[in-house]
Structure 1
Amino acid sequence: MATEGAKSFARRDKLLEIESKVRVWWDEKDVFKAEPGEKPPQPGEKFFGNFPFPYMNGFLHLGHAFSLSKLEFAAAYHRLRGANVLLPFAFHCTGMPIKASADKLAREIQIFGDPPVFPHEVVEEEPISKEESDSNKGANVVPDKFKGKKSKAASKSSGQMFQWEIMRSFGLSDSDISKFQNPYEWLKFFPPLAVEDLKAFGLGCDWRRSFVTTDMNPFFDSFVKWQMRKLKSMGKIVKDMRYTIYSPLDGQPCADHDRATGEGVQPQEYTIIKMEVVPPFPAKMGVLEGKKVFLAAATLRPETMYGQTNCWVLPDGKYGAFEINDTEVFILTERAALNLAYQKLSCVPDKPTCLVELTGYDLIGLPVRSPLSFNEIIYALPMLTILTDKGTGIVTSVPSDAPDDYMALHDLKAKPAFRAKFGVKDEWVPFEIVPIIDIPEFGDRAAEKVCLDLKIKSQNEKDKLAEAKRLVYLRGFTEGIMTVGEYAGRKVQEAKPLIRTKLIETGQAIIYSEPEKKVMSRSGDECVVALTDQWYITYGEPEWKKLSEECLSNMNLYSDETRHGFEHTLGWLNQWACSRSFGLGTRIPWDEEFLVESLSDSTIYMAYYTGAHLLQNGDMYGKSAVLVKPAHMTDDVWEFLFCGGPYPKSSDIASSVLNKMKQEFEYWYPFDLRVSGKDLIQNHLTFCIYNHTAIMSKDHWPRGFRCNGHIMLNSEKMSKSTGNFRTLRQAIEEFSADATRFSLADAGDGVDDANFVFETANTAILRLTKEIAWMEEILAAESSLSTGPPSTYADRVFENEINIAIKMTEKNYQDYMFREALKTGFYDLQTARDEYRFSCGNGGMNRDLVWRFMDVQTRLITPFCPHYSEFVWRELLKKDSFVVKAGWPTADSPDLKLKSANKYLQDSIVLMRKLLNKQILGSKANSTVTPILLHQKVK
């Protein structure tokens, strides 16, 4: 008996023992091996479900298991009711995280030795040289040199563990860790461990079809190359200059899966207004004499530039004068200058050139000439609420239509002491606003009106100003009419692009882009927006988008929120950078300098599952092929298999093998369900729709996506840093597989975050083992049970409850509402059984009804607790078949009147007990309590 302190783990260990035994039974008979039928399947006869392959830079955790459980439960239900089920599983290794971690490990070995001797204390020294940095491009490099001097520990001061320490946490010895400098060692190590964990979990998977991505698997590599060539031949991959989120350290675009933070963040495009500083320049800016110097103000509203009265700077803000080209200098923040440098707007490519460092105080009072302003000269004035991590740190001021500007100007006008504090001369302050837009109900001084209506007193009232901006900006854009300028009388939404285009064409403004929010790459690098010349997939192209919308309209998405998420993504998704220069993956076949980006090799791979076992001979790396060689997989073969292309007559593959692969695809496709976290709606899942509509015929388009939220542990966010974290392996060791699955089923079904509760898992251990003990007790005393057809009132009630459980649980499984299925198929049925026992006593229970209960209960819980159910089915109920394929139990139509009558009776019994208890407790010594018969068996 396993114990820990005073706590016994005998019950959990019994479940673990059962699970080990049951998996041997399954393996012996290849229970989850999926073979296609001879004829095309009729609706409901087959079920093909799949799951986005997880990334293999660590162990699978409960977050993976939660999403996967939704697929596993669905597949298990369909298998149980008799469908032919295919559930395959593969492992994603494409992209930069593995390569970055391998390079980080190499860097640590370079600095600290092999095995490394980490200093107890470290001190920051000079930065790594450019040559060292370039030699480790893309690695999660240690940012400083360490020399063992007294300071904080390196791993603590950086907020991250050394990679070597992380590898130790995986259970690797120091003698093995250095091998992981080679990224391909990760591909050999983690996928087999994931298979072990998923088998221990009880995943009903056809493991013959598993594979790893990247060129390590030559068959999958060929599949991706064919897919890319096909898209290019269709005009859906083009080379273009585009703004994209970019990691300067990695030297390549940073797609969602390459990011540590900022997934889903897109480039935000601004217009930079070139506000020319009027000479002579202040002494600190003397080095700029002879150059055209501009305050570079980023705006989203170029149409409002007619109303400029001044511009704003942050007094304590750090600025610089950056050389944009041979003649022009922009004054802005270093962050904005870095973005511009990667957008081809710097004298030195990809590197800002600062001619002089400045602060906001240096800029206050600068006279500038600004495009479209009715005032020939306006001045730079102080504003205390400017954010230097957004835009350029220079802000145009249009107080007629911007509440922030109106209130900041109000503060300057009304507070002489405030002006004096920052050295603002009275003549710099504009005392009249310039009306430019007429808005119904708001007039032509909208900012002023809304600020007065909301009783805003100061520029520091952020919440009120946010509401004011929402009102003015929305109404101004949708209903506003320009009252000045070339486009007076035109709607703002019509004039806006025309004014912007003219400003850019006349050289008075430029396009500028930056990330909507902060994005950090997995290499620890803050990303910029770069203008890159590379390969793009043309998502968003009108005709292609229309096909994708048609596909979506015919899919089952199981929630309105999920559908809205897809519709929103289809609305904004545009060209997607599909090439990378760093990481692992498949080479772009026509431009082998680049790799296929990690989300672009993952769009139709579900089709690859259908023939993977025939290609790879059950080897996930594709190295043990027998029937087919990688070189045999030409584009003609892939076209024949997946696109209805002609039979490849010149193929070296035996016709029987080709036809078998074709049969597999035609039988299993389209897939019926793909389960994923909802965060993949904005990229991978929408890409999946797009690529299926481009490459495959309509009858092979996806049928369903089911999306869920994240998983919390005990109502708190799952986090390694706080210790509130469990790998799948840890959860199984702690609770057993079936108790883990039970708690996952109970965690929640919607798209909101779910909650895995440890107490639920522990309760499952107790309930499952107690149920086994009860069944063993009943079976041992079977002769004491009553015989003959169920006849008593209690028999009829219990039989009716069983029928209700079967019907309701079936509906819940069909709707993929697994928490409800657990309630109706286990909790409610247990309650009905306990009530039946209480009514009859063990000896009074009907033998046939008890056997029916044990049969039905076992089947209904099989998708959640398959090991437990299989053990009960074979060892206790002595069935020859496997419960996972036992068929759904039949049921008569429930008698709802009988259910209502019994509820009334049970409620009455509870009430009578309460009344009796109250009377007993409240009675005096000489009072007499009228006996009430509470437990009489009702016939």
Structure 2
Amino acid sequence: MDLNAEGRSFSRRDQLLRIQSEVQKCWEDHKVFNAESRSKPEPGEKFFGNFPYPYMNGSLHLGHAFSLSKLEFGAAFHRLCGRNVLLPFAFHCTGMPIKASADKLAREMQKYGNPPVFPSAEAYVDGKSLRSKAAAKSCGDKSQWEIMKSFGISESEISKFADPYHWLTHFPPLAKEDLKAFGLGCDWRRSFITTDMNPFYDSFVRWQMRKLKNMGKIVKDKRCTIYSPLDGQPCADHDRASGEGVQPQDYVLIKMEVLSPFPDKLKIMEGRKVYLAAATLRPETMYGQTNSWVLPDGKYGAFEINDTDVFIITQRAALNLSYQKLSRIPEKPTCLLELSGYDLIGLPLKSPLAFNEIIYSLPMLTIRTDEGTGIVTSVPSDSPDDYMALQDLKSKPALRSKFGVKDEWVLPYEVIPVINNPGFGDKAAEKVCADLKIKSQNDKEKLAEAKELQYAKGFTDVVMLVGEFKGKNIEEANPLIRDVLQETGQAVMYSEPERKVISRSGDECVVALTDQWYITYGETEWKDKAEECLSSMNLYSEETRHGFEHTLGWLNQWACSRSFGLGTRVPWDEQFLVESLSDSTLYMAFYTVAHLLQNGDMYGSDTSIVKPEQMTDEVWDYIFFGGPVPVSDISASLLNNMKQEFEYWYPFDLRVSGKDLIQNHLTFCIYNHTAILPKHQWPRGFRCNGHVMLNSKKMSKSTGNFRTLRQAIDEFSSDATRFSLADAGDGMDDANFVFETANSAILRLTKEITWMEEVLAADLRVGPPSTFADHVFANEINIAVRLTKQHYEDFMFREALKTGFYDLQAARDEYRFSCGSGGMNRDLLWRFMDVQTRLITPICPHYAEHVWKHLLKKEGFVVNAGWPSSADISDPTLKSANKYLQDTIALMRKLHQKQISGPHKPKNGATASPDEANKFVVGLIYVNEQYEGWKEELLNILRSKFDIRNRSFKPDQEILDALRQSSFWLQDANLKQIQKLCMPFLKLKKNEALAVGPEALNLRLPFGEMEVLQENGELIKRQLGLEHVEVLSASDAAARSKAGSHISLLIQNPPSPGNPMFIFRTCSEFVTHT
């Protein structure tokens, strides 16, 4: 027995590992997952699913596996159902992270030797051996050498990774082997890597980019973009360690001129134009300025903008401005003087548009210096924060004294109405602060609420009261006033990241004004086509659809070129590379022909079939774009084969991805397909999921709560890993991979193999199903087939696992127990084993293949054996009858135990004797199979008032009027007692009908209660330990007499349809009354 250090046996896990190795070899030998095109497919004949290729700067981890499992399970289901399935997989190497890491390693070896001897061992933390992409993203201050060691790379090999292309030869083959071990049903002939290392893919991307440029969808222009100063280039989502999805935020920078004479601190700037520069989104309110705000403890600087102008702002804002052509030395802010907020209090200012000719800078305690410029202009008519801060200074002399604020800087300044806001008037901030009883500027929660209340209705009806654009609503006035301020030199435009963005190189990003190539996403006509495509796609959830609609609403020009990293050169401007989110938008089409070009070599180095230079734009156009037959020395048969492959597999049916790619890659995919391909080849579906946690905690390398895919396979086996991935969850919320579920799967699968071996060797009852238990079990199998198929089609794999494995196992266990001495039916168990094996195949294919071949002795492969036959339709009545039986037994057991331990319970904790504990061995079950009397009449009324189509009742008053006209209401002598019982019964039946439909209002159950209970008398006796059971009609006087002295129980709790009554008696009592 194989034991670990704690003495735990791994024999069951190792059994699954042996099975997966054998099965995977068999699959590979028989090329089971190679997908071949046929003639034009009929609807539903083929399934082409794909997955965003992962970045190859480390090994795949369970996060990758979780998203990929959704595609793998879905594709396996379609394959099982007989569809022609294509699931390809490729590896992304485009971008800057690999190149940056390789360069960092080269610098370390150049400086510290090979192997490097670092100056301090403490400078780098020795990492755990986790081969992960996350290790590279969250390495802290670890050296690149140590990061490579943490990947499990030997010191003798590490130096090779100073060549970025060595990463491309190392990690993709490892990932491929991990995915094979996972059991991915992939056609590996079509695999490829990106970048110019693969000349065929390089040619494909060049064709795509030229296509877009010729359509006018790639332009060169100056635009603000998120930018890494360290890397010296734009930092797109895939280049970021944090801040994915963050966009530039545009502000108007108001130039508030500092009036002379300057205070001593600023004397050195006499003769220069010095401004406090405040960032605002609301330039239309500047008429109402009463002051500016500074943070007393804030750190500021006086920065040269050009030869004459100086802005007093934060260092962070100055750095952003320097990358937007607003610094005397581009990209290098020149600070003439460091200042604190205290140095700025009391500066006299002349501010654009302000009705007050002079305003002063005053202290505000809530300013944030990590956004904007640290300088804030004050408009107390419309800003609750400004209003309360000004009121604090006006009403609190001690606060003025604390910061050296003179009365004349504050007291003369009153709120100036600028705009009229319906519901709030022309002094909106004053009104909302009074309504919310806000006491000071420190009441942050209420101030945030005040702002939300003001902005809740939008700005359509908010009208300017003053200025050149008086009478216009502020949605119109805002851009007009912004333009006037810029044209007159009173303001400049300023941008910064919406939130902090950290590049993978570790520096904080800025917004830079760059001259580069852009893809014109958001252009009106193109956006209309993208929205049309989206409207016809299957997205599997409304949350996903809303995510795409939101992205299409804001997405605009996207910088598609980079100057650093790996990739394909921009074909008309080869100083630039195509960035990593722009060479990955149409490559699903490349899968369809990759095997014909590359001859199975993912690097495209095999040119025996086609040479890369033969793949001209005319050839690509012919294959993908419906272009004319090209003049080419590629054989006509090969050209036609490639065209036919593409037209067979396209459009792709599904792309599975994490939800984080909605805001970039997946939306780009829609845009590029609608630009380049005809409508009938646009994508058909995207399915997005959340992230995965491990054991209810965020997956994190730094905390050790992390697993690579290979580690999970080695620890649990591939099938147990897949089982736990399926069980982890299906929606857009984060899912949870639980180690205990994986360990439990090991036990369940191996025990199931043992049980099947025993069953196949046993002497069992033969012939068609004949007993109630047989019919129930056969029905449960049919139900599992139907429900599980629906769950797989909906890509709800947790539910498929429940109905196709857990529920089916429970039904088998119940059947085994129900059969008793009569034994189980051999043919039925064969049906069960066949069905269960097929239903679990998409999730646990190695286990299923082993059972199929070695236990069931079936021909071929279970992965394409076909969905189980559904010739036998499931019977909901039989299911209801079985539920009735099981519920009855459970209730009888509870009451039996209660009667045993009731008044006859031994005193003082003594143990009951066997005679005492077992004396209630006769069970009488009283049944009333039909509602009668007032209940019958009430149900008839409810049926007449029920709308079956809409599953709703007529108004309550109409029902009550009908009740008051009923015979029992008008004539019954026990009216008061009936009225007391009537309303709860009416409410109960109404709720049941609303939940399950009109059958809840029937007078009888859809099956014979007495028949079900009588047929299962032996089961009831066995489960409750009774010697005798009788099923009796509650309306039969002779039957009622058998209750003896317990007849009062029958009177007090009369049975009704679905609710039998139980009486337990001793043998002597029963014999006396019979």
Same fold (TM over 0.5): yes
Counterpart in the other structure of 2:613: 631
3-state SS, counterpart of residue 459 of structure 2: helix
Question: Equivalent residue for 2:898?
Answer: 918
Distance 1:69 1:476, change over 3 A: closer
What letter is aligned with 2:309?
E
Tell me by how many angstroms 1:534 deviates: 0.3
Partner in structure 1 of residue 836 of structure 2: 857
Report the CA distance between 1:111 and its aligned residue: 2.8
Aligned partner (choices 226, 250, 253) of residue 231 of structure 2: 250
- 8 Å CA contact 1:32, 1:206 repeated in 2: yes
SS at match of 1:730: helix
Which moved further from structure 2: 720-729 or 160-169? Answer: 160-169
Question: Are the structure 2 counterparts of residues 227 and 610 from structure 1 closer, same or farther at C-alpha, using a change threshold of 3 Å?
Answer: same
- SS of aligned partner of 2:300: strand
Q: Partner residue of 1:613?
A: 595
Alignment partners' CA distance in 2, 1:903 and 1:301: 66
2:530·2:670 contact (CA, 8 Å) conserved in 1? yes
In 2: Cα distance, 1:521 partner to 1:776 partner: 57
CA distance in 2, matches of 1:631, 1:438: 67
Instruction: Give yes or no for the alignment of 1:386 onto 2:367.
Output: yes
1:31 aligns with 2:32: yes
Q: Distance in 2 between matches of 1:559 and 1:621?
A: 37
Partner of 2:709: 728
Match of 1:712 in 2: 693
Equivalent position to 1:848, from 823, 827, 848: 827
Q: Deviations over 1:533-560 (max 9, x none)?
A: 0000000000000000000011000000
Q: Secondary structure of 1:936's partner?
A: helix
* Cross-structure match for 2:984: none
Q: Say whether residues 1:203 and 2:193 are aligned partners.
A: no
SS in 2 for 1:540: coil
1:188 aligns with 2:163: no
Distance 1:330 1:431 in 2: 25
Alignment pair present for 1:481 and 2:463: yes
Q: Distance in 2 between matches of 1:70 and 1:841?
A: 41
Q: Distance in 1 between matches of 2:1019 and 2:308?
A: 101
How many angstroms apart in 1 are the aligned matches of 2:395 and 2:413?
10
> What pairs up with 1:253-268 in 2 under 5 angstroms?
253-268=234-249
Question: In structure 2, which of residues 1001, 1008, 1018 is the aligned counterpart of residue 936 of structure 1?
Answer: 1018
Label 1:608 to 1:842 Cα distance change in 2 as closer, same or farther (>3 A): farther
Distance 2:2 2:700 in 1: 29
SS in 2 for 1:270: strand
- Give the corresponding residue for 1:150: none
Preserved contact between residue 97 and residue 239 of structure 2 (Cα < 8 Å): yes
Alignment partner, residue 490 of structure 1: 472
- CA 1:122–1:168: 2 relative to 1, 3 Å: closer
Q: CA deviation at 1:165?
A: 1.2
**How far is the alpha carbon of 1:166 from its aligned partner?**
1.4
CA apart distance, 1:935: 7.5
Q: Is the 8 A contact 1:99 1:584 kept in 2?
A: yes
Residue type matched to 2:25 in 1? V
Q: 1:161 Cα shift?
A: 2.2
Superimposed CA distance per residue, residues 312-338 of structure 1 (whole angstroms, 9 cap, x where no aligned partner): 000111111111111111110111111
The Cα offsets for residues 784-822 of structure 1, whole Å up to 9 and x where unpaired, read as 111111111111000000100000101111111111111
What is residue 579 of structure 2 aligned with on the other side? 597
8 Å CA contact retained: 1:93, 1:584: yes
Give the aligned CA root-mean-square deviation in angstroms. 1.7
Residue in 1 aligned with 2:766? 787
SS in 1 for 2:324: coil
What's 2:388 paired with?
A: 407
Matched, 1:468 2:436: no
Instruction: Indicate conservation of the 8 Å contact 1:23/1:202, yes or no.
Output: yes
- Check whether the contact 1:271–1:512 (CA below 8 A) recurs between aligned residues: yes
Q: Which residue identity lines up with residue 231 of structure 1 in the other structure?
A: L
Q: Counterparts of 1:808 and 1:268 in 2: how far apart (Å)? A: 49
Aligned to 1:907: 887
Task: Give the Å deviation of 1:921.
Answer: 4.0
The code of the aligned residue for 2:146 comes to: E
1:785–1:843 Cα contact (<8 Å) kept: no
- Given that 2:139 and 2:147 are in contact with CA atoms closer than 8 Å, whether structure 1 keeps it comes out as no
Q: Tell me if 1:522 matches 2:523.
A: no
From 870, 873, 877, give the equivalent of 2:856: 877
In structure 1, the residue matched to 2:791 is 812
Measured against aligned partners, the alpha-carbon deviations of 1:713-744 in whole angstroms (never above 9, x if no partner) come to 11111111111111000100111100000010
SS of equivalent to 1:827: helix
CA distance in 2, matches of 1:16, 1:564: 42
Amino acid at match of 1:884: V
Give the AA of the match of 1:337.
A
Partner of 1:149: none
CA distance, structure 1, for counterparts of residue 165 and residue 662 of structure 2: 30
Once residues 438 and 576 of structure 1 are traced to their aligned partners in structure 2, the CA distance between those partners, rounded to angstroms, is: 38
Which residue of the partner structure matches residue 159 of structure 1? 140
- Amino acid corresponding to residue 920 of structure 2 in structure 1: T
| 3-state secondary structure, aligned to 2:208 | helix
AA matched with 1:883: V
State the partner residue of 1:46.
46
Question: What's the CA shift for 1:432?
Answer: 1.1
Q: Return structure 1 stretches of 4+ with deviation > 4 angstroms.
A: 121-124, 925-928, 932-935
* Matched AA of 1:29: H
Per-residue CA distance 1:841-869 (angstroms, 9 max, x = gap): 48711111000000000000000000000
RCO comparison, higher one (Cα < 8 Å, 6+): 1
User: Structure 2 vs 1, CA of residues 62 and 390 (structure 1 numbering), >3 Å: closer, same or farther?
Assistant: same
Aligned AA (1:47): F
Contact in 2 for aligned 1:321/1:355 (Cα 8 Å)? yes
Q: Aligned with 1:220: secondary structure?
A: helix
- The equivalent residue for 2:949 is none
Q: Distance in 2 between matches of 1:28 and 1:727?
A: 27
Residue ranges of structure 2 left out of the alignment (5+ in a row): 125-135, 906-911, 924-1015, 1022-1074
Deviation of residue 123 (structure 1)?
8.3
Taking the aligned partners of 1:337 and 1:366, their CA distance within structure 2 comes to: 20
User: Do the aligned partners of 1:870 and 1:884 also contact (CA within 8 Å) in 2?
Assistant: yes
2:776 corresponds to which of 786, 791, 797: 797
Distance change in 2, residues 1:107/1:577 (3 Å): same
**Contact 1:839–1:935 (8 Å) recurs in 2:** no
* Residue 10, structure 1, aligned to residue 24, structure 2: no
Paired position in structure 1 for 2:536: 554
Post-superposition shift, 1:474? 4.2
Q: Report Cα offsets for 1:454-502 as digits up to 9, x if no partner.
A: 1111111111111111222444723211111111222111211111111
The corresponding residue for 1:60 is: 60
The correspondence for 1:290, drawn from 264, 271, 289, is 271
Quote the Cα distance in structure 2 between the aligned partners of 1:618 and 1:58.
23
Distance (whole Å) between structure 2 residues aligned to residue 745 and residue 932 of structure 1: 47
Three-state SS of the structure 2 residue aligned to 1:676 is: strand
For 1:64, give the aligned amino acid: H
1:895 aligns with 2:875: yes
Return the letter of the residue paired with 1:811: Q
User: Equivalent residue of 2:405, what SS?
Assistant: coil
1:653 aligns with 2:735: no
AA paired with 2:54?
P
AA aligned to 2:817 is F
Task: Point out the structure with max Rg over C-alpha.
Answer: 2
The residue aligned with 1:458 is 440
Q: Partner residue of 2:431?
A: 449
Contact 2:53 2:92 in 1 (8 A): yes
CA distance in 2, matches of 1:306, 1:245: 32
2:973 is matched with none
User: 1:689 and 2:679 equivalent?
Assistant: no
Q: Could you tell which deviates more after superposition, 432-441 or 554-563?
A: 432-441
User: Which amino acid in structure 2 is aligned with residue 494 of structure 1?
Assistant: E
- Mapped to 1, the partners of 2:121 and 2:91 lie a distance apart of 39
For 1:158 and 1:205, locate their aligned partners in 2 and report how far apart those are by CA, in whole Å: 33
User: How do residues 270-289 of structure 1 correspond to structure 2 at under 5 angstroms?
Assistant: 270-289=251-270
Change (3 A) 1:122 1:64: closer
- Equivalent in the alignment of 1:118: 118
